[in-house]
C-alpha cells in the first residue's frame, strides 16, 4: 500500500488548489443529473462543488493518505489488503457525503460511514470490540431513521437540496439536528465514541477524530442557511451539556485513547455551540483545524501504545529520552488543542470565545462553555505529563523503540498544526476585527483560569471527588442509558432471530463470505479500482471547471 498512499497524498493537493480558486473567484458549481422523473416528482443526483466541500475533501484525503502510510508498519503485513480496502471504502463514503447537495444522495455516504465504521470497530474481533461495535452501529442507526423521516417530510416540497432550498420546516430541522447529534456523538448519543476506541489506533485517528464525528457538524453547516430559533436553542443546550461532561470525564480518565476521544467530543460540542450562535463559518474553521491536529495526536498515541503495549497512562513514561520527535509532536498537538496563541487551534478557538461574548449572550451556558475550554488545558497538560515523564515506571517490561517509518507521516502533519489556522484566516477573513472591552477580556482570562483550576482539582488522585467521578466517567449515565435500552429490546430481537432466518442466508454472513471470496481472488485489482474511483472524485471538480 506504500505507492497507493503516496499517490493519494499527491492527489490531495488538487482539492486544496480548487478550494482556493473557487474562494478567490467567489464561485461555486452546482451540478444536477436527473435520475428519476415521475409526473412532478423529480429526483436528481445533486453535487455541490464550492470551497467548503473542497477544503473538507482535501483534509479527509490528506489525513487518509498519511494514515495509510502510517499503517504500513502499524498493521501486520498479512492484514494490509483487508485493512486498506476498508479504509478506502470509508474515504469513498465520506467523499460522497461531502460532495452531495441532496439529502437522499447524501444518505448513501452517511450510511456507508456507519457501516464501515462498525466493521472497523470490530476489527480485532473480541468481546470488547463486539460490544463497542454494537453501540456504535445502533447509535448511528438512530441518525439514519431521523434522516429517512426528514426525507419523507420533504417529499411535500419535492426538493431535497441543501443550498437551493429557501427554508426547511421546523420538524425537519429538529430531525436533522437529532441525526447530526447521533453521528457527532452529542447528548444523549455520547456513549459510542469512547467505546469505539476498541478499533485500531489508525482507525481512531481517521474515523473518530476527523471524519465520521464531523459528519454531523458538516450536515448542520449545510442545513443552517435559514435556521429556526427553536432548533438553535436545542443545539445550544445539547452542545453545552456535552462539552461540560466530556471535559470532566477526560480529567478522570486514565486510558490515553479515551482521553483523546473525550477531548474530540468536547471540541465537536464547541463546533455545535458556534453553529447555535449563527457562526457556521467559525464552526467550519474549527472543524478543519481540529481534524488536522487531533488525527496527529491519535497517531502519536498509537506509536506510544504500540511500543509500550499499554494504554493506561500510569504505566507509561520516559518518552522524552526514547523518542524526542514523538514527544515534541505530541506537545505541538496539545498546545494547538489548548489554543495557545499563534498555534493553529488559537485561530479557531479564540474567535469562538469572542463571538460568545460579542453576541451579548453571556448566560450560564456560555460560562459553562468557557469553563470547559479551561478544563481542556488541564487534561491536556495532565496527559502530556503522565506520558512523557523522565523517570521509568515500576513496569520493567517497557521497551520503547522509535520507528522512523511511523514517524514520517506524523512529521508531515506537524506543520499543519502550526500554520493551518493562520493560512485559513488570511485566505477567508482578512478584515476580521472584533474589539472587546478590557473588562470582558479580563473576564475571559478569569473564567478560563477557573476552568483550569477546576480541571486540576478533578484529577483522579483527589479522593474527595471520587464518588462524583463515577457519574462523570459514565458520561452522566449515558453508558447505563444505552445498555438499558438494549436489555429491554433483547427479548424481541431474540424472537425475531428465531422466527426469521431467511435474511441471514440471503444478505448475512454467507452472502458477505461469497462476495469477499470473489474479490479475494484478485484483491490488487479491486483495491486499484477503488483507489481509482476516489482519485476520479478528486479530479471531477477540476474537469467540470476547465471543460
217-267 pLDDT per residue, tens: 888 888 887 778 888 888 888 888 888 888 888 877 777 888 888 888 888
Average pLDDT of every residue of the chain: 76
Compute φ and ψ for 48, nearest 5 degrees: -120, 115
Burial of 394 (0-12, 13-18, 19+ CB in 10 A): exposed
pLDDT higher than threshold 50 for residue 499: no
Residue-level pLDDT at 478: 63
Q: Which pLDDT tens digit goes with each residue over 351-378? A: 888 787 777 665 777 778 888 888 888 8
Mean pLDDT for the stretch of residues 44-57: 86
User: Residue 520's pLDDT band (boundaries 50, 70, 90)?
Assistant: low
Phi, psi at 312, each rounded to 5°? -75, 125
**Residue 477, pLDDT score:** 62
Whether 482 shows a pLDDT value over 80: the answer reads no
Three-state DSSP at 38 gives: strand
Average pLDDT, integer, range 396-402: 56
Quote the pLDDT of residue 166. 67
**Would you place residue 160 in the very low, low, confident or very high pLDDT band (cuts 50, 70, 90)?**
confident
pLDDT at 91: 85
Cα–Cα distance, 412 to 84 (Å, whole number): 20
Convert the pLDDT of each residue in 99-149 to its tens digit. Answer: 888 888 888 888 888 888 888 888 777 777 777 777 788 888 888 888 888
Whether residue 69 is predicted with pLDDT greater than 70 in this model: the reply is yes
pLDDT at 327: 82
Q: Mean pLDDT, to the nearest integer, of 423-441?
A: 69
| Contacts with 343 (C-beta within 8 Å, 6 or more apart), sequence order | 332, 335, 336, 417, 418, 421
Q: Give the pLDDT score at 369.
A: 81
Which residues on neighbouring strands pair with residue 312, listed in sequence order?
255
Higher pLDDT, 507 or 541: 541
**pLDDT number for residue 495:** 47
Percent of the chain with pLDDT over 70: 76
- Give the three cell numbers for residue 227: 435556521
- Residue 529's pLDDT is what? 64
- Say how far apart CA 289 and CA 397 lie, in whole Å: 37
Q: Which has more pLDDT, 40 or 522? A: 40
Give me the residues paired with residue 357 across strands.
Answer: none
Taking CA 404 as the corner, what is the angle to CA 401 and CA 407, rounded to the nearest 5 degrees? 95
pLDDT for 361 equals 63
% residues pLDDT > 90 (the chain): 0
pTM, two decimals, is 0.84
Residue 507 pLDDT exceeds 50: no
User: pLDDT band at 415, cuts 50/70/90?
Assistant: confident
Whether residue 390 has pLDDT greater than 80: no
Mean pLDDT of 320-328: 76
The domain limits of the chain are 137-460, 490-545
The pLDDT value recorded for residue 483 is 60
Residue 226 backbone phi and psi in degrees, to 5: -130, 80
pLDDT band of residue 501 (cuts 50, 70, 90) is very low
Residue 298: which pLDDT band, with cuts at 50, 70 and 90?
A: confident
- In terms of Cα–Cα distance, which of 7, 3, 6 is closest to 535? 7
Residue with the bigger pLDDT between 392 and 386: it is 386
What pLDDT does residue 368 have? Answer: 81
Q: Please tell me the distance from the alpha carbon of residue 402 to that of residue 330, in angstroms, as a whole number.
A: 14
Q: Tell me the C-alpha distance between 403 and 283, whole Å.
A: 36
339, three cell numbers: 489554543
Task: Output the pLDDT for position 526.
Answer: 62
Which residue would you say has higher pLDDT here, 279 or 485?
Answer: 279
Range of 90-99, 183-192, 385-394 with top mean pLDDT = 90-99
CA distances from 160 to 56, 157, 168, 184 (A): 22, 8, 10, 22
Amino acid at each position: 500500500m506504500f505507492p497507493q498512499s503516496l499517490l493519494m497524498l499527491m492527489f490531495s493537493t488538487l482539492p486544496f488548489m480548487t478550494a482556493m480558486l473557487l474562494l478567490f473567484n467567489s464561485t461555486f458549481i452546482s451540478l444536477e443529473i436527473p435520475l428519476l422523473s415521475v409526473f412532478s416528482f423529480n429526483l436528481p443526483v445533486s453535487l455541490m462543488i464550492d470551497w467548503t466541500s473542497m477544503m473538507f475533501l482535501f483534509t479527509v484525503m490528506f489525513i487518509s493518505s498519511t494514515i495509510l502510510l502510517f499503517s504500513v508498519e502499524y498493521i501486520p503485513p498479512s492484514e494490509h489488503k483487508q485493512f486498506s480496502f476498508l479504509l478506502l471504502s470509508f474515504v469513498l463514503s465520506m467523499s460522497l457525503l461531502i460532495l452531495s447537495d441532496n439529502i437522499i444522495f447524501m444518505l448513501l455516504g452517511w450510511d456507508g460511514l456507519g457501516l464501515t465504521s462498525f466493521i472497523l470497530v470490530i476489527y480485532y474481533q473480541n468481546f470488547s470490540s463486539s460490544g463497542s461495535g454494537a453501540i456504535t452501529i445502533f447509535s448511528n442507526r438512530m441518525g439514519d431513521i431521523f434522516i429517512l423521516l426528514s426525507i419523507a417530510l420533504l417529499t411535500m416540497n419535492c426538493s431535497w437540496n441543501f443550498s437551493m432550498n429557501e427554508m426547511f420546516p421546523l420538524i425537519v430541522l429538529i430531525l436533522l439536528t437529532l441525526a447530526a447529534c447521533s453521528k457527532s456523538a452529542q447528548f444523549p448519543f455520547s456513549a459510542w465514541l469512547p467505546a469505539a476506541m476498541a478499533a485500531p489506533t489508525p482507525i481512531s485517528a481517521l474515523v473518530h477524530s476527523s471524519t465520521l464525528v464531523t459528519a454531523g457538524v458538516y450536515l448542520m453547516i449545510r442545513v443552517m442557511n435559514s435556521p429556526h430559533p427553536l432548533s438553535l436553542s436545542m443545539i445550544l443546550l445539547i452542545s453545552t451539556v456535552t462539552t461540560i461532561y466530556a471535559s470532566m470525564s477526560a480529567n478522570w480518565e486514565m486510558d490515553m485513547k479515551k482521553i483523546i476521544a473525550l477531548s474530540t467530543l468536547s471540541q465537536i460540542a464547541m463546533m455545535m455551540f458556534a453553529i447555535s450562535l449563527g457562526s457556521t463559518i467559525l464552526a467550519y474553521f474549527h472543524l478543519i483545524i481540529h481534524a488536522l491536529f487531533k488525527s496527529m495526536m491519535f497517531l502519536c498515541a498509537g506509536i506510544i501504545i504500540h511500543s509500550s503495549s499499554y494504554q493506561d497512562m500510569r504505566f507509561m513514561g520516559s518518552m522524552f529520552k526514547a523518542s524526542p520527535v514523538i514527544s515534541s509532536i505530541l506537545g505541538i498537538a496539545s498546545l494547538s488543542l489548548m489554543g495557545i496563541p499563534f498555534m493553529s487551534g488559537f485561530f479557531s478557538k479564540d474567535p469562538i470565545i469572542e463571538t460568545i461574548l460579542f453576541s451579548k449572550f453571556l448566560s450560564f451556558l456560555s460560562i459553562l462553555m468557557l469553563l470547559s475550554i479551561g478544563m481542556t488545558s488541564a487534561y491536556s497538560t495532565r496527559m502530556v505529563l503522565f506520558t512523557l515523564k523522565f523517570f521509568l515506571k515500576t513496569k520493567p517490561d517497557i521497551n520503547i523503540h522509535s520507528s522512523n517509518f511511523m514517524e514520517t507521516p506524523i512529521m508531515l502533519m506537524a506543520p499543519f498544526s502550526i500554520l493551518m489556522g493562520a493560512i485559513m484566516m488570511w485566505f477567508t477573513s482578512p478584515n476580521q476585527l472584533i474589539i472587546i472591552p478590557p473588562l470582558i477580556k479580563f473576564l475571559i482570562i478569569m473564567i478560563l483560569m477557573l476552568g483550569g483550576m477546576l480541571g486540576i482539582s478533578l484529577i483522579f488522585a483527589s479522593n474527595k471527588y471520587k464518588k462524583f467521578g463515577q457519574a462523570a466517567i459514565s458520561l452522566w449515565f449515558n453508558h447505563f442509558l444505552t445498555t438499558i435500552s438494549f436489555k429491554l429490546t433483547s427479548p424481541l430481537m431474540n424472537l425475531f432471530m428465531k422466527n426469521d432466518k431467511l435474511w441471514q442466508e440471503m444478505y448475512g454472513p454467507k452472502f458477505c463470505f461469497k462476495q469477499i471470496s470473489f474479490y479475494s481472488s484478485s484483491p490488487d485489482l479491486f483495491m486499484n479500482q477503488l483507489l481509482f474511483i476516489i482519485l476520479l472524485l478528486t479530479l471531477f471538480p477540476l474537469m467540470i471547471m476547465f471543460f
